[in-house]
């Protein structure tokens, strides 16, 4: 504002730009590190509480193999570390994938839950549970295959001289409704006990993770998160619209394809580990964006927000509620009020979007 009244507008405008950009970078750094610290604290806290109380020092020493104490090591490394790691990994994966989808398709509702990918995983897994009486690793494998299959199906169907965001969303709705119809049918035809197990899986729980799937997801996170962040530049120009992005020199289809593949891989593995934990992918991006303010769109921040949400939900599900419930039951109850509060308060400052 001051730039226009000043004597040397060009210089001060550039200066103002620089200030804004620096402020944005600082805020992004502060928010991301704060989220990272929150995630670390929650991760350690998850392993401290339980019927056998531990101190933070004991937990950290045991996880990092600094001190050997058989009883502590058993509780931490064998009992609590797998669940805590799976909450962390699934949260990171869903948060990152959700925000990638929302930005690619330029729609705040376009999380993998609504455009058919989780429905595909759900149908495959439910078929395994209800028709073949499967459990454990086989169901995870089916879910993985279902998610990837649904994503491929959508991409093939939506492809016509490239994939337009709007067409992809509509095809996604169709695919999701198709799978959901079949899931509903299976649930009404199943024996009540099978239906109950199927509902449990559909709700999603970090406690049901198997070691093999978890290792796969961790590997994928280490590999894919940096790739996603590198592709972030592509993502930013895509937000301006396909034509503008193309004019600015982005290879639109390549960038979009790469990002979609990254996000789909993360979602598919997360669903295979924990089932379709609803709402994390949808809400992590908007929460991170509102914390980041003007520097919206950070994949890392969204991933960390997802992990925070899932770790908190797991703590509530296991330790606060009278009967232990699957994590997916709690994510909505924990995340929804927070998002609503954010919507209400950022609105008051006129930045609610």
Partner 1 sequence: MSNSTHVTRRASALGPGLAVLFVALALVAFLSVTQGSRSIGLLEVLHALGSLNSDVSTDSTVTLELRVPRTLLGIVVGAALGVAGAILQGVTRNPLADAGIMGINSGAAVFVVFAVTVLGVRGAGVYVWFAFAGAIAALVLVYAIASLGREGATPVKLALAGAAVTAGLASVTAGIVMTNVDALNELRFWQVGSLAGRYAPILTGVAPFLLLGLVASLGFGRVLNGLALGEDVARGLGQHVTRTRAAAFAVVAVLAGAATAACGPIVFVGLVVPHAARFICGPDYRWILPYSMLLAPIVLLLADVLGRVVAAPDELQVGVVLGVLGAPAFVGIVRYGRLSEV
Site residues, partner 1 (CB under 8 A): 107-110, 114, 157-158, 160, 164, 166-167, 169-171, 173-175, 177-182, 184-185, 187-188, 192, 195-196, 199-200, 203, 278-279, 282-283, 286, 323, 325-326, 328-333, 335-337, 339-340, 343-344, 346-348, 350, 352-353
CB of 195 to partner 1, least distance (A): 6
Rank residues 220 and 286 by Cβ distance to partner 1 and give the closer one.
286
Rank residues 85 and 256 by Cβ distance to partner 1 and give the closer one.
256
CB of 250 to partner 1, least distance (A): 22
Rank residues 19 and 347 by Cβ distance to partner 1 and give the closer one.
347
CB of 82 to partner 1, least distance (A): 22
Rank residues 63 and 87 by Cβ distance to partner 1 and give the closer one.
87
Question: In this structure, is the dihedral angle defined by the CA atoms of residues 52, 58, 64 and 68, taken in order, positive or negative?
Answer: negative
Rank residues 221 and 287 by Cβ distance to partner 1 and give the closer one.
287
Please give, one letter per residue, the 3-state secondary structure of the chain: CHHHHCCCHHHHHHHHHHHHHHHHHHHHHHHHHHHHHHHHHHHHHHHHCCCCCCCHHHHHHHHCCCCCCHHHHHHHHHHHHHHHHHHHHHHHHHHHHHHHHHHHCCCCCCCCCCCCHHHHHHHHHHHHHHHHCCCCHHHHHHHHHHHHHHHHHHHHHHCCCCCCHHHHHHHHHHHHHHHHHHHHHHHHHCCHHHHHHHHHHHHCCHHHCCHHHHHHHHHHHHHHHHHHHHCHHHHHHHCCCHHHHHHCCCCHHHHHHHHHHHHHHHHHHHHHHHCCCCCHHHHHHHHHHHHHCCCCCCHHHHHHHHHHHHHHHHHHHHHHCCCCCCHHHHHHHHHHHHHHHHHHHHHHCCCCC
Q: Which two tokens stand for residue 235?
A: 């993502």
Rank residues 198 and 225 by Cβ distance to partner 1 and give the closer one.
198
CB of 299 to partner 1, least distance (A): 19
Rank residues 17 and 166 by Cβ distance to partner 1 and give the closer one.
166
CB of 347 to partner 1, least distance (A): 3
Rank residues 53 and 193 by Cβ distance to partner 1 and give the closer one.
193
CB of 199 to partner 1, least distance (A): 6
Q: Rounded CA gap, 224 and 33, in Å? A: 20
CB of 346 to partner 1, least distance (A): 8
Rank residues 223 and 344 by Cβ distance to partner 1 and give the closer one.
344
CB of 21 to partner 1, least distance (A): 25
CB of 49 to partner 1, least distance (A): 21
Please give, one letter per residue, the 3-state secondary structure of 81-139: HHHHHHHHHHHHHHHHHHHHHHHHCCCCCCCCCCCCHHHHHHHHHHHHHHHHCCCCHHH
Q: Rounded CA gap, 308 and 46, in Å? A: 11
Residue 343: CB atoms within 10 A of its CB come to: 13
């Amino acid at each position: 504002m001051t730039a226009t009244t000043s004597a040397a507008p060009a210089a001060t405008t550039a200066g103002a730009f620089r200030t804004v950009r620096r402020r944005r970078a600082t805020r992004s750094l502060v928010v991301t590190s704060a989220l990272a610290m929150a995630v670390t604290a929650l991760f350690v806290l998850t392993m401290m509480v339980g019927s056998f109380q531990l101190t933070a020092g004991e937990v950290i020493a045991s996880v990092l193999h600094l001190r050997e104490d058989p009883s502590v090591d058993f509780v931490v490394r064998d009992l609590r570390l797998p669940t805590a790691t799976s909450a962390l990994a699934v949260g990171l994966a869903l948060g990152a994938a959700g925000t990638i989808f929302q930005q690619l398709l330029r729609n705040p509702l376009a999380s993998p839950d609504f455009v058919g990918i989780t429905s595909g995983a759900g149908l495959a897994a439910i078929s395994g549970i209800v028709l073949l009486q499967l459990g454990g690793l086989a169901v995870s494998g089916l879910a993985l295959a279902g998610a990837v299959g649904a994503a491929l199906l959508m991409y093939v169907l939506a492809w016509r001289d490239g994939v337009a965001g709007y067409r992809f969303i509509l095809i996604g709705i169709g695919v999701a409704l198709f799978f959901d119809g079949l899931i509903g049918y299976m649930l009404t035809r199943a024996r009540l006990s099978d239906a109950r197990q199927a509902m449990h899986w559909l709700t999603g729980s970090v406690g049901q993770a198997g070691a093999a799937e978890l290792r796969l997801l961790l590997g994928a996170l280490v590999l894919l998160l940096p790739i996603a962040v590198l592709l972030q530049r592509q993502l930013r120009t895509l937000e301006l619209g396909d034509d503008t992005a193309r004019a600015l020199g982005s290879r639109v289809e390549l960038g979009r394809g790469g990002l979609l593949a990254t996000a789909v891989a993360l979602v598919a593995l997360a669903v295979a580990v924990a089932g379709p934990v609803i709402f994390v992918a949808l809400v992590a991006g908007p929460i991170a964006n509102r914390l980041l303010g003007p520097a919206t769109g950070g994949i890392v921040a969204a991933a960390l927000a997802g992990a925070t949400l899932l770790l908190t939900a797991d703590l509530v599900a296991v330790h606060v509620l009278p009967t232990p419930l699957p994590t997916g039951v709690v994510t909505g109850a924990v995340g929804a009020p927070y998002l609503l509060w954010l919507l209400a308060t950022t609105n008051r400052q006129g930045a609610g979007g």
